[in-house]
Amino acid sequence: MKISSQQLLVLIAIFCTSVCFGQSTKGNWTTEDKFTAIADLNAQRAVFESFLDSTQVDPLIQCIADELEQTFENPGEVDTASDTIQAISLKCLSAVGFDTTRTKEVSTSVKGNWSKQEKEAARETLEIIRGTMNGIIDSADVDLLFDCILDKMESKYTNFEEAQTKGENEISAITIDCISENGLMEEPEDSANEPFSTKPKGDPSSSAGSWSETDKELLENQLEELRPKFESSMGKEKTDVMFECIRFNFEHAFENFADIDNHPEIYKGILDECKQYATNSK
């Protein structure tokens, strides 16, 4: 997969949560804010691994997180659309050995008739969310959805790069249209009274950063089920450190316990970072 320098900003953009912890300052973020930045970057690991060697991904993530800490007051201040982010991305890619000077290929695509390369690049990007879409619609319908999204992007934009620059709101709107047009989500029988989803929404009294005792207990029960597995490989002390990290970050990253299932990449990113943090703790 070939990556142009213009695409790097899209690929490396960090989707920070709106929650900022403690009293971070430029060059001296709190541990919690560092977790947030690294977890958000880790959620894009599959994207990084599509054009980097697997051994380059962790150094890249750490480099970007360090540069963000030296540049912004906290994760909430990170401006993903700024030239600063692109400069940080290019600097860190260069630091891990990625050739950032490669010449951008001239696209031969036109609106309504994309080149084979453009279609393949768009398809590879959609594949990143296949796991998420499998949890939303029937897995057998995901290819149908992707085909629809690609057709709509091709008819609307000159090439895939233009589609990327329009932002996730426009792509999300296209995705919703495709789901609706193809009837890929079942309507609840009493849709007049429940216009959204029949899936459990979790404890309504919970919110990001302030979970109810019920949601905290649900998370605690799940952690205790996993405890024997981690204690056998990490020991009790490091497992306790890992679980404390998970408790804090889950409560601040998700609206409630049920919301965890809606964000599998963030879930995995937090688990990976908390495990690494606990492993490196003294």
DSSP 5-52: HHHHHHHH-----S---TT-BTTB--HHHHHHHHHHHHTTHHHHHTTS
| pLDDT (0 to 100) of residue 100 | 65
Higher pLDDT, 108 or 149: 149
Query: Is 165 buried (19+), middle (13-18) or exposed (0-12) by CB count in 10 A?
Result: middle
Beta bridge partner(s), residue 113: 110
Q: Give me 66's structure tokens.
A: 């360090």
Integer Cα distance of 172 and 140 in angstroms: 20
Q: Is residue 202 very low, low, confident or very high in pLDDT (cuts 50, 70, 90)?
A: low
DSSP reduced 3-state for 109: coil
Contact criterion met (CB below 8 Å) for 104 and 73: no
pTM beyond 0.75, yes or no: no
Query: Using CA atoms, how far apart are residues 58 and 175, in angstroms rounded to an integer?
Result: 31
Residue pointed to by tokens 């009274």: 193
Amino acid 150: pLDDT: 92
Q: What is the mean pLDDT of residues 153-161?
A: 87
Among candidates 228, 276, 224, 264, which has minimal Cα distance to 247? 224
pLDDT > 60? residue 7 = no
Beta-ladder partners of 25: 28
- Among the listed residues 96, 71, 97, 93, the one whose alpha carbon sits nearest the alpha carbon of residue 84: 71
Q: What's the mean per-residue pLDDT of the chain?
A: 77
Q: Decide: helix, strand or coil at residue 113.
A: strand
Contact indicator for 42, 61 with CB cutoff of 8 Å: yes
58-62, 122-126, 168-172, 181-185: which is most confident? 58-62
pLDDT digits (tens, 9 = 90+) for 30-89: 888 888 788 878 877 777 777 788 888 889 989 988 999 899 888 778 776 567 887 888
Query: What residues does 210 pair with on adjacent strands?
Result: 207
Q: What is the CA radius of gyration of the chain?
A: 21
Beta bridge partners of 207: 210
Q: Where are the domains of the chain?
A: 5-95, 116-181, 213-280
pLDDT at residue 232, rounded to an integer = 86
User: What one-character DSSP code corresponds to residue 247?
Assistant: H
Greatest Cα-to-Cα distance within the chain, rounded to the nearest angstrom: 59
pLDDT the model gives residue 167: 56
Contact 42, 64 (CB under 8 A): no
Find, among 185, 215, 187, the residue nearest to 201 by Cα: 215
